[in-house]
Structure 1
Amino acid sequence: MVNDNVLSIILGGGQGSRLYPLTEKRSKPAVPIAGKYRLVDIPISNCINSNIKRMYVLTQFNSASLNRHIKNTFHFSFFSSAFVDVLAAEQTPESKSWFQGTADAVRQSMHHFLRHEFEYALILSGDQLYQMDFNDMIQAHIDANAEISIATIPVNEKEATAFGILKTDDNNVVTSFIEKPDTELLPDWTSHTSDDMQAQGRNHLASMGIYIFNRDLLIELMNNPDTNDFGKEIIPQSIEKHKTLSYQYEGYWTDIGNIDSFFEANIGFTDDLPKFNLYDTKQRVYTNARILPTSKISGTALDKAVIAEGCIISAAKIEKSVIGIRSRIGKDSTIINTYMMGNDDYESLEVINTMKTEILVGIGERCFIKNTILDKNVRIGDDVRINGGPHLEDAETDKYVVKEGIVVIKKGAVIPKGFVL
């Protein structure tokens, strides 16, 4: 049963500066995760699994690769009303500026949304990792006769200072809201959570940045040009005037806000029981159905390795690492605690046999790579040693960036033979 009364609006975020350099040449929702997916596949797949099949993705920076990915991936029947459309910031007679925030992005795009019949607008973030059935949240919204619903996740005191924190009454109706409270204020900002959550010290409700708005209220709120952001302005200003429901979610959820959280989320896929379950047949993650050969591995010791399709690997050892599509790793190389995004294309046999390029795409022979993110299409020469970790200071060159001990090799970078970091 398709949810014909719901329109989904996925916010692509701003420039994504905290995820730089991964966002240097692509928008944040287009950043590759787990070796074969892109971030935007997560909210889109959650919608499809919830039978919500009318989606807009709002973006304004480097949206070409995102457009291409969505166009190549999400095809629906000619006879259905389903679609996934990318809306990049556009200049109109009414607005000549970029999106100024999450609410402003929705405001500037309202003329597209209002072409459709819908009762509820489901507003999502394009840079979060989670699996949620939105039908439960929508039903709770309807049953409570709410005008706004906010998905919330119980967090502990340490985590609470990084989020917008809500306070609710016994009926899960939001009574107050505070953005990133100081630690000394937290005792006054506890809410009722389940016994399970209380046992873990998770007594504060953090906004997940997932909202449901009734259509008429969204139109009304968007008529005020002075509010630019949902979390900082719309939600705090609406709580007293409009019935706002908290929908508690207790599953795995992480906000891919910076390089550290991005790296941790990807390496997490190598756990024996990952918190995010890619193997759940009821909560599938959909992506571009590339027609790639199986991966070929020769003489490699593998431990907690996630390897995507189409790879050619002759490494000595791969440990606690994610190896993306079409990756090539040479003989006697060791890869530890690393996310290798892979390649967009294969090097041709002619190039390989004639050595028209000195350093082939992928990782060369006798390399040691640890605590590193290798963006797409990098070329690592033989005998390269990259040992990321807290001993490295933050730095940036034209080929790589170091952030909090994690080394990020930039997209398409060529690292010369014998390089040591």
Structure 2
Amino acid sequence: MSLETLTLVLATDRGPGLDPLTRHRAKAAVPFAGKFRIIDFTLANCLHSDLRQVLVLTQYKSHSLHKHLRDGWSIYNPELREYVTPVSPQMAEGQSWYTDPFDAVRQNRYLIERSRAKRVLILQGDLIYRMDYAEMIRAHVDQRVEVTLAIREGSPADSPGRVAVSLDEAGRVVQAFDPASTGDPARTNLLTMGVYLFDKERLLAELDRPAEVSPEHQVLSAPAITSLSASGGVFGYRFGGARGRVTPDRYWCDPVTIDAYFGATMALLDPRAPLDLYQEDWDIHTYQGQDPPARTVPGASGTEGIFVNSMLADGTLISGGGVNHSVLFPRVRIRDGAIVEEAVLFDGVQVGEGAHLRRCILDKGVLVPAGVQIGLDPATDRARYEVTDGGVVVIPRGFAF
């Protein structure tokens, strides 16, 4: 199977809803869950699904993502025709960058044509979920269809921008529509989830059709799916079934806003987290630096360093400070008397003595001076910092206090 399926991972979204976290990186490269990048979840799915020919299509602010792919995903053997290769816009047939997700596929047609694969799996690399693609491929072959869409139950409220589909009794797609058109944001529909499987020749035929702009966050629009289904052979594969080697937690998240990202992160600290990071045979691969173990030590005042219900990555040192219900990435430092509550601190953040942080996200390398308070006074926060509609304070990289 590994040589019969070519995988295209789209990492082209600039992620405007995640600004300022995407000022220096693509959405797919945004850190998540204390040690990973968002794209690691899609690539880990490929790894465990025995998909070893992976092209990652990149565009906006791609340096951080390219570096991460080099450092964390150079694990395949090219002698066995295995690879994870980033592909920026080649402009082989024009001078434009990728204009939309489907155009990114179209501009790399030559890579599809020269592949010996029988099928092409197209994935969005900026979503968070775990899935055994091998089972979807088997279902695609068993159903003898040309196109398969992974679908899940959801609503416009929790899956913004997704396309809804209806299926016949055989599981084939008969209609696609914008779920927001129903006027009920809580209505449950079968929604696309950023996983598209094509027979190679069918995909090439679709690339020959007149260009149609696809939605910002997905490959195929509702009219495009309806057109595909009208010509036959489009199957809806239900996500989270009993088949497959991954535990069916049925978790899927598109963090299109800071509030969605923050909520997904805090949910990882629930007693029964919705996303299972601890399945032993489905680890999420990533790059890890050579850092010492995380540790708590007393501060100069003699106060013990403590943490409660939090994630601490390697290299983190809590020296007399207190951390509660927070996620700390590698090499974070919490100084004597500092308090961190409901916070997400990226690599290398340092929190000075006596500082108090609550309900905030601090980007990589932010240095918080002693005594500074963040997230305690809404009026002061909005005057000094960037605050989301949900009240989450975001301190961007390089911020000067």
The residue type paired with residue 204 of structure 1 is: N
Residue 246 of structure 1 is matched in structure 2 by: 236
* Deviation sequence 1:169-209 (CA, Å, 0-9, x none): 111111000023333479xxxxxxxxxxxxxx985201102
Residue 180 of structure 1 is matched in structure 2 by: 179
Residue 247 of structure 2 is matched in structure 1 by: none
Q: CA deviation at 1:236?
A: 3.0
Question: Is 2:201 aligned against 1:216?
Answer: yes
Is 2:122–2:195's contact at 8 Å kept on the other side of the alignment?
A: yes
Residue 13 of structure 2 is matched in structure 1 by: 14
Counterpart Cα distance in 2 of 1:221 and 1:394: 50
Structure 1 segments unaligned to the other structure (5+ residues): 187-200, 344-360, 416-421
Residue 224 of structure 2 is matched in structure 1 by: 234
Question: Is 2:116 aligned against 1:111?
Answer: no
Aligned to 2:281, the other structure's residue is in SS state: coil
Residue 311 of structure 1 is matched in structure 2 by: 316
* Deviation sequence 1:95-137 (CA, Å, 0-9, x none): 2111111110000012123222111111111111111101111
Residue 124 of structure 1 is matched in structure 2 by: 123
Is 2:6–2:120's contact at 8 Å kept on the other side of the alignment?
A: yes
Structure 2 segments unaligned to the other structure (5+ residues): 241-249, 298-303
The residue type paired with residue 12 of structure 2 is: G
Q: CA deviation at 1:77?
A: 2.5
Is 1:316–1:334's contact at 8 Å kept on the other side of the alignment?
A: yes
The residue type paired with residue 223 of structure 1 is: D
Is 1:342–1:362's contact at 8 Å kept on the other side of the alignment?
A: no
Is 2:358–2:376's contact at 8 Å kept on the other side of the alignment?
A: yes
Counterpart Cα distance in 1 of 2:184 and 2:209: 31
Residue 414 of structure 1 is matched in structure 2 by: 400
Query: Paired residues, what number?
Result: 379
Q: CA deviation at 1:276?
A: 1.4
TM-aligned CA distance change 1:207 to 1:41, over 3 Å:
same
Aligned pairs (5 A) from 1:152-171: 152-156=151-155, 159=158, 162-171=161-170
Residue 369 of structure 1 is matched in structure 2 by: 357
Is 1:58–1:105's contact at 8 Å kept on the other side of the alignment?
A: yes
Aligned pairs (5 A) from 1:251-270: 251-270=250-269
CA RMSD of aligned residues (A): 2.2
Question: Is 2:149 aligned against 1:144?
Answer: no
Counterpart Cα distance in 1 of 2:233 and 2:118: 16
Is 2:179–2:189's contact at 8 Å kept on the other side of the alignment?
A: no
TM-score by length of 2: 0.89
Aligned to 1:239, the other structure's residue is in SS state: helix
Q: Could you tell me the percent identity over the aligned residues? A: 28
Aligned pairs (5 A) from 1:196-207: 203-207=188-192
Counterpart Cα distance in 1 of 2:98 and 2:204: 17
Counterpart Cα distance in 1 of 2:381 and 2:166: 38
TM-aligned CA distance change 1:381 to 1:256, over 3 Å:
same
TM-aligned CA distance change 1:393 to 1:222, over 3 Å:
farther
TM-aligned CA distance change 1:396 to 1:376, over 3 Å:
farther
Q: CA deviation at 1:394?
A: 9.6
Counterpart Cα distance in 2 of 1:158 and 1:410: 27
